[in-house]
Amino acid sequence: MGREMPKVSDCSVSNCAYNSNKACHAMAITVGDEPNDPTCDTFFQSSTHGGAKDATAGVGACKAADCQFNEEFECSAPNIHVGMKEHEPDCLTFQPR
């Protein structure tokens, strides 16, 4: 049985092209630069905002293997929060093992 893709319940990174009204409208995001660094890899800046306005992003993949919710490079949390942390757009649901 497949499992549901976790949703990005909110994202406060308002200068990202996929963000509007504190929601992420990419179809799916990728998280994690390093095992212990849960950066949103999908973040990018543009003068126009994009994404599918009726979509709420899922977490398509996560490379932050040091997170308790990470199972074989996929996220098993029910949903995640994203926001700025130390000048980077990060998954705030990250929990070190």
- Ranges within 50-89 binding ligand SF4 (CB under 6 A): 57, 59, 62, 64, 67, 69-70, 75, 77, 80, 82, 89
Residue 43 neighbours by CB under 8 Å, 6+ apart: 13, 16, 18, 89
In the shown chain, the binding pattern of residues 8 to 27 toward ligand SF4, with x for contact by CB under 6 A and - for none, equals: x--x-x--x-xx----x-x-
CA atoms within 13 A on the CB side of 81: 7
Compute φ and ψ for 49, nearest 5 degrees: -95, 140
Q: Rounded to whole angstroms, what are the CA distances from 48 to 44, 61, 79?
A: 11, 25, 27
- Beta bridge pairs of residue 26: none
Would you say 1 or 13 has its CB closer to ligand SF4? Answer: 13
Q: Is residue 39 at the binding interface for ligand SF4, with CB under 6 A as the rule? A: no
Binding site for ligand SF4 (CB under 6 A): 8, 11, 13, 16, 18-19, 24, 26, 29, 31-32, 38, 40, 42-43, 57, 59, 62, 64, 67, 69-70, 75, 77, 80, 82, 89, 91, 93-94
